[in-house]
Chains A and B, each alone.
Chain A
């Protein structure tokens, strides 16, 4: 069981954003850039928070942005965005947020393949501040325990 590939272009480190919408927007843009989602998914992730509130802030400093499966989800994906200055989502305990995970799944059940792995990583309470402080995307990947190669160069490595 492992996390989705999390290519480097699905990671954005040290962004400056004005509010939670822009933060979720960045997580959505990273999903789209990495080929996981198409136009519309970002707006649906924002819509979930507008409808149900800031429950997506599931731990101090961490938001798990997500929406239901839909035609705008091309393949399951994960993105990671860290913020230079934290933003407030409106959660009574876990604000402010400086790490946003974007999650896209193609069926309701698919996520269980990697959700246990996600829980393993984040059950360690030091991981959120460590991610927030990560200087670059490669550090984010290694903090999450993702060792698989990423990108076209990595594919060449694999085929050797």
Chain B
């Protein structure tokens, strides 16, 4: 029981430190990417091509078409033959016509719309096995300088494209900006030029740019876990469990604070679920960085130790003979 209490205490302290670090990073990201005013008309030559890779529903696409920022387009990479029931109706719904695609490798079909309302859509029919080159093809055909990659089932937050464009326009045209978000679905905005630029400025924002389908388990666990640990502490009269409960409660409140600040159109429950999902991703990334650093440290330490000369001619038999003698 003592061992469980200690493990739980360590876990809760790690959670608490992680949550506080998450809040600090979020506040810093918010401060750095705070916009005084958002311009919804086109800003100079700033344009964004959004890439949706292999979506299973039309919801992400419709949300992107609702964006008001004029210099934006939607590039959908999908396997029309694999997912006939869900996406085959896209060509009919958006009045897409096939156009020439001989210059694109690995592409089965290429569609654009003749209807004014859907002029921003570009549909690329690529087999699912060529998924790794979907982004490369999207960058090849993008109309604008910046590309925004969304996860397959994430729905963009209203006004996110205009927000990204305003952030990019806060820096000189010649600068190479990349933007990602610390909360919400994973979103990455970067230039679509194939040449590697050494002076890339990586920005982190504290706004939710896209939403994933929320899992109801996360907020329920966040709310009830401190109570459960507290009950256990009371039942066993264990002080370590009490400290664990307090630490977990503080961590949960930190995440609830961020959720309250970011409540827009969705409910607090949904926002909290998204924030906890982002927090889990954040902790996993930190764990990976920590593992990499510790592996590097161990290898450096091993290299710094003196090398012992090994006589390769001596065999095991010689060794035992010597010992016997």
Q: Do A and B make up one complex?
A: no
